[in-house]
Amino acid sequence: MIKMDGKNLSLKIKEDLKSDLYSYFQTPILAVVTVGDDEASKVYVNNKKKACEFVGISMMHFNYDENADEAEIINKIKELNEDKTVNGIILQLPIPKKFNSRKILNTIDPNKDVDGLTDISMGRLMSGNSSLIPCTPKGILEIFDYYKIDLEGKNVVIVGRSDLVGKPLILECLKRNATVTACHSHTKNLEEYTKNADVLIVAVGKKHLIDKDMVKEGSVIIDVGITRENGKIYGDVNPNVEEKCSYVTPVPGGVGPMTVSMLLKNTVTAYKMMNEETLEDNKKLELK
Ligand code: NAP
């Protein structure tokens, strides 16, 4: 059984990005918009800031309190859309329920939508035309590539169908010619599906929902779930599956670190899309 080390892979990706960024004429900029006082969001934004600093991306943070006017937040995003030095924009979720998060998200210019969550980005994903794939699914695809897990013809079962994780994964696994089954809270006899999975991806948020009796011998298991209990973090998959599976992502240290590095990667991709011509010209000058 191989534990797929997302922490190390993420570090390798960040180091590659860092050396890539040395040759850029301008520092890429990521703008993060937060609303309210969510404690977990503070930790996530801080992790993003540290990761940006590590690779050489500049992060701007705009925080609005929960009494802010929605129009004010939308206007800030419009301003960031227009700013040619800003390459990526994210709205850190969740935001307080009184705000229309879809409306705010959809204000983000799709070419700067480095979380891949606007309606246009989702449409691009659907048509197989996306450069900015949502970070967690993209991180999982990178894990598959790094560990040479070929999905062609495999039974891939995805538990969870959120816009953030499950739905983009359904499309991306189909693109890799897997036979995809999507399970959710209304699925009856979940284990009938999970037992048949060559590759099982679980993104639910219920501690140890999946245990060894629910998985196939030799399967590949990706655990996206995070449950915090008494200061510890648990995944959706019971570690006892390690007796049966061939590959598994640990929690913590599997998918989580990959999500942050994919945000950086998407920011660099957005930067390249915005500066394609200048980067090409610089390459030509270097060759001369
Ligand atoms: P979400 O929006 O709450 O979606 C959860 C999904 O699980 C829904 O589709 C829901 O079905 C399904 N579900 C709930 N109970 C179920 C059950 N008993 N059996 C089967 N399916 C069930 O959550 P999310 O944003 O996708 O996140 C899922 C988990 O991943 C959370 O723990 C989150 O913290 C974690 N996460 C981790 C990372 C990372 O970087 N590691 C990134 C994102 C999320 P319905 O659609 O029918 O409600």
Which pLDDT score, from 0 to 100, does residue 284 have? 66
**131 close to 174: Cβ distance less than 8 angstroms:** no
DSSP type of residue 130: -
Q: pTM, whole model, 2 decimals? A: 0.95
Nearest atom within ligand 1 for CA of residue 251 = 41
51 Cα–ligand 1 center, Å: 25
Q: pLDDT tens-digit profile of 55-71?
A: 999 999 999 999 999 99
Percent of the chain topping pLDDT 90: 92
- For ligand 1, atom 30, name the residue with the nearest CA: 225
Q: For the range 63-72, what are the long-range contacts, defined as Cβ-Cβ under 8 Å and sequence gap of 24 or more? A: 63/33, 63/34, 63/35, 64/33, 64/34, 64/35, 64/36, 65/35, 65/36, 65/37, 66/35, 66/36, 66/37, 66/96, 66/98, 68/35, 70/99, 70/100, 70/103, 70/104
Contact residues of ligand 1, CB 6 A cut-off: 136, 159-162, 164-166, 183-187, 190, 203-206, 224-226, 255-256, 259
pLDDT at position 285 over 70: no
Tell me, which fold does domain 135-256 have in CATH? Answer: Rossmann fold (3.40.50)
Q: Which residues contact 129 (CB under 8 A, 6 or more apart)?
A: none
Q: pLDDT tens-digit profile of 68-105?
A: 999 999 999 999 999 999 999 999 999 999 999 999 99
* Residue among 47, 162, 169, 262 to mutate when testing ligand 1 (max atoms within 8 A of CB): 162
3-state helix, strand, coil in the chain (%, to 5): 45, 15, 40
Judge whether 26-109 and 135-256 match in fold: yes
pLDDT at position 277 over 80: no
- For ligand 1, atom 47, name the residue with the nearest CA: 185
Residue 240 DSSP SS3: helix
Which pLDDT score, from 0 to 100, does residue 23 have? 80
- Residue 283 is among the residues annotated as catalytic for this protein: no
Ordered by start, the domain boundaries in the chain are 26-109, 135-256
Q: pLDDT tens-digit profile of 37-54?
A: 999 899 999 999 999 999
Nearest atom within ligand 1 for CA of residue 254 = 41
Give me the mean pLDDT over the 16-40 stretch: 93
9 Cα–ligand 1 center, Å: 24
Tell me, which fold does domain 26-109 have in CATH? Answer: Rossmann fold (3.40.50)
- For ligand 1, atom 4, name the residue with the nearest CA: 162
- For ligand 1, atom 2, name the residue with the nearest CA: 162
Q: pLDDT tens-digit profile of 132-171?
A: 999 999 999 999 999 999 999 999 999 999 999 999 999 9
69: closest CA among 107, 113, 39, 104?
A: 104
pLDDT at position 15 over 70: yes
C-alpha pair distances (Å), 187 with each of 93, 193, 271: 27, 9, 41
Residues present in the chain in total? 288
C-alpha pair distances (Å), 7 with each of 29, 53, 199: 24, 17, 21
Q: Which of 92, 167, 223, 244 is catalytic?
A: 92
- Residue 26 is among the residues annotated as catalytic for this protein: no
Which pLDDT score, from 0 to 100, does residue 25 have? 81
Q: pLDDT tens-digit profile of 98-112?
A: 999 999 999 999 999
Label residue 247 by pLDDT band (50, 70, 90).
very high
pLDDT at position 24 over 90: no
* Residue among 189, 193, 224, 251 to mutate when testing ligand 1 (max atoms within 8 A of CB): 224
What b/e string do you get for 219-246 counting C-beta neighbours within 10 Å, with b at 16 or more? bbbbbbbbbeeeeeebbbbbbebeebbe
* Residue among 93, 165, 266 to mutate when testing ligand 1 (max atoms within 8 A of CB): 165
pLDDT at position 255 over 70: yes
Residue 149: what residue type? I
Give me the mean pLDDT over the 251-267 stretch: 97
- Residue 92 is among the residues annotated as catalytic for this protein: yes
Label residue 184 by pLDDT band (50, 70, 90).
very high
Q: Which of 5, 14, 48, 198 is catalytic?
A: 48
